[in-house]
Amino acid sequence: MQWKHMCKPHAFTVHYVQRMKKHRWRCKAVTFWCSDEVLCCHWLQALNDLLEQQTWRPKHLLVYINPYGGKKKGKQIYENKVAPLFSLASISTEVIVTEYANHARDNLYEVNLEKYDGIVCVGGDGMFSEVLHGLIGRVQKDADVDQNNPKVPLSRCNMRIGIIPAGSTDCVCFATVGINDPVTSALHIILGDCQPLDVSSVHHKNMFLKYSVSLLGYGFYGDVLKGSEKNRWLGPARYDFSGFKTFLSHRYYEGTVCFQPAKWAVGSPRDKVCCTFGCYICRQSSKQLEEQQRVKTNGLESNEKENWTVVKGKFMAINAANMSCACPRSPRGLSPAAHLADGTADLILVRKCSRLDFLRHLIRHTTSNNDQFDFPFVDVHRIKSFQFTPKHFDEEDTESTDLGIIGKKNFAQICTDHPSCGCNQLNSVWNCDGETLEQTALEMRVHCQLIKLFARGIEESQKQEDDTNPSRV
Ligand SMILES: CCCCCCCCCCCCC/C=C/[C@@H](O)[C@H](COP(=O)(O)O)NC(=O)CCCCC
Ligand SMILES: Nc1ncnc2c1ncn2[C@@H]1O[C@H](COP(=O)(O)OP(=O)(O)O)[C@@H](O)[C@H]1O
Ligand SMILES: [Ca+2]
């Protein structure tokens, strides 16, 4: 071999990314040897020049670690798997290990963001939600935008967020990268990938409650989350335990849902066209939305209040999915054809049904082929906004809730028709990206591509994509 004949060999090592099975990426290395020192230096110089030209790659990152998320391994995961890769890629970091809930959110209001090319959060969906609220809130504050106004157009955030999965569900990571793997996510950050993401704002009358990027769910998923909090010590298994109990309790909730269909959007929730890398539906839908907004500001379109659809009923679950919500428990997600950046959400209404039917619906989330919407008690709509008013809510709520469409009604009924559970629980709670909301009456509105992630969406599987014949990025 050539290196055996070199008397004074010179060498350099190139680290690169290799695609493995199931969207997993790994860092590999190849060393180049050369007997001529000048030639070796030229190669090094040329490669460094090429790297310098890649201005989309981050150089300075602000990292928040939740040491208590998931199996409490956030710090370990970051130190052992992520930090060595960042240092290999010459990325400097400022690391903050959070000391209390909302530490990261509050810190983002104070920190000098100009020093950084991106923010990294190590934790689950709850931790991501904290960082999301800190960043969006900070950008609105700097731009003097009032977050309490549900109709106000929000200012876009240009700083990208990277997610190192170390939580319990990690649905945002799974649905944007295709796998919950800290090394893969770190490599997407290093390469400077960019995936725009829709964000929904959630308001109660003129009061801002939360932002949501994945699931805003009432009924089943709200009850699972509420029940799971008491058993946090179980780690990620708390959701299975609570899910089982919630399924057995078989509750339904009454209320009225009003929604505005996203008429301009390309595609529909049951067209089986999934959101993938460079998604055509996202590009086309966001373009058409922009065009519609331009027409509206020119005063060419009538009042948007006209386009509301009203559904009144008894619901097992009301789910608004901004993205597929795929996760290891449900590899295709709650709405497999929902899109990351099309400016819409899929509203899934699961009406009162038998226990067996609800189980059949749930089981379809875990399999790859069956359509979970193909039931007479399930409806799904692609929407740009919706409002919900529960049938039963207290005096205080009645006074403060006037969402314009539904209006005030007599809600002081006592629940008489919950024979199956014998409960006195009239209302569920909302699960907003893994956080419960206090208010039940709310309105949600999708903001197209409000934030950006260090991700690229799900790459379509290639035939050669396996461990024996991996492809390079
Ligand atoms: C009989 C088998 C039934 C299996 C049904 C499986 C359906 C799973 C769909 C899961 C959708 C998840 C949407 C994401 C929610 C997360 O934001 C939230 C918080 O995550 P984290 O902060 O990382 O803990 N997770 C949940 O609300 C858990 C839902 C689990 C439902 C069983
Ligand atoms: N140092 C901390 N102590 C307690 N709670 C924290 C801390 N840092 C973040 N949190 C909160 O922990 C919650 C859950 O975090 P997350 O990382 O999503 O884990 P999990 O996926 O297990 O729910 C989030 O709501 C977040 O605000
Ligand atoms: Ca969307």
Q: Where is 52: in which H helix or E strand?
A: helix 37-53
Best residue among 77, 132, 212, 215 to mutate for probing ligand 1, ranked by most atoms within 8 Å of CB: 215
Q: Where is 256: in which H helix or E strand?
A: strand 253-261
Look up the domain containing 397 and give its range.
203-273+306-447
Contacts of 137 (CB under 8 A, 6+ apart): 105, 108, 109, 147
Q: Tell me if residue 355 falls in helix, strand or coil.
A: helix
Residue 327 main-chain phi, psi, to 5 deg: -160, 170
State which ligand 2 atom lies nearest to the alpha carbon of 167.
Answer: 21
pLDDT value of position 460: 87
Is 293 part of any domain? no
Q: Are 306 and 242 in contact (CB under 8 A)?
A: no
Q: Are residues 210 and 355 in the same domain?
A: yes
Q: Are 66 and 103 in contact (CB under 8 A)?
A: no
Is 285 part of any domain? no
Q: Are residues 153 and 45 in the same domain?
A: yes
Does 464 score more than 60 pLDDT? no
Report the 10 Å Cβ neighbour count for 32.
13
Output the CA 265–ligand 3 centroid distance in Å.
10
Q: If you average pLDDT over every residue of the chain, what do you get?
A: 89
pLDDT value of position 8: 58
Does 159 score more than 90 pLDDT? yes
Q: Are residues 225 and 245 in the same domain?
A: yes
Q: Which ligand is closest in space to the CA of residue 447?
A: 3
Report the 10 Å Cβ neighbour count for 318.
26
Average pLDDT over residues 311-315: 96
Total residue length of the chain: 473
Q: Tell me if residue 97 falls in helix, strand or coil.
A: strand
Is 286 part of any domain? no
Does 81 score more than 70 pLDDT? yes
Q: Are residues 443 and 461 in the same domain?
A: no
Q: Give pLDDT tens digits for 40-74.
A: 999 999 999 999 999 999 999 999 999 998 899 99
| pTM score | 0.90
Q: The CATH number of the domain where 85 resides is what?
A: 3.40.50.10330
pLDDT value of position 206: 87
- In one-letter notation, the amino acid at residue 177 is V
Which of 136, 155, 120 has its CA nearest to residue 453? Answer: 120
Best residue among 77, 131, 169, 246 to mutate for probing ligand 1, ranked by most atoms within 8 Å of CB: 169
**Spatial separation of the C-alpha atoms in residues 86 and 92, rounded to whole Å:** 7
Average pLDDT over residues 214-228: 96
Q: Which ligand is closest in space to the CA of residue 384?
A: 3
Q: The CATH number of the domain where 368 resides is what?
A: 2.60.200.40
Helices (H), 61-102: 74-77, 83-88
**Spatial separation of the C-alpha atoms in residues 117 and 126, rounded to whole Å:** 23
Protein residues with C-beta less than 5 angstroms from the ion ligand 3: 198, 322, 339, 342
**Angle between helix 237-249 and 355-363 (nearest 10):** 150
Q: How many CA atoms lie within 13 A of 77 on its CB side?
A: 29
- For the chain, the domain total comes to 2
Hunting for tokens 């009032």 — which residue is that?
146
Q: Are 206 and 225 in contact (CB under 8 A)?
A: no
Q: Are residues 215 and 354 in the same domain?
A: yes
> What ipTM was estimated for this complex?
0.96
Q: Is the CB of 261 under 6 A from ligand 2?
A: no
Q: Are 310 and 389 in contact (CB under 8 A)?
A: no
| Catalytic status, residue 125 | yes
- In one-letter notation, the amino acid at residue 437 is L
Q: Indicate the DSSP class of residue 99.
A: S
Q: Give pLDDT tens digits for 119-154.
A: 999 999 999 999 999 999 999 999 999 999 999 999
Model confidence at 156, pLDDT cuts 50, 70, 90, reads very high
Does 24 score more than 70 pLDDT? yes
Q: Are residues 373 and 459 in the same domain?
A: no
**What's the burial of 413, exposed, middle or buried (CB within 10 Å: 0-12/13-18/19+)?**
exposed
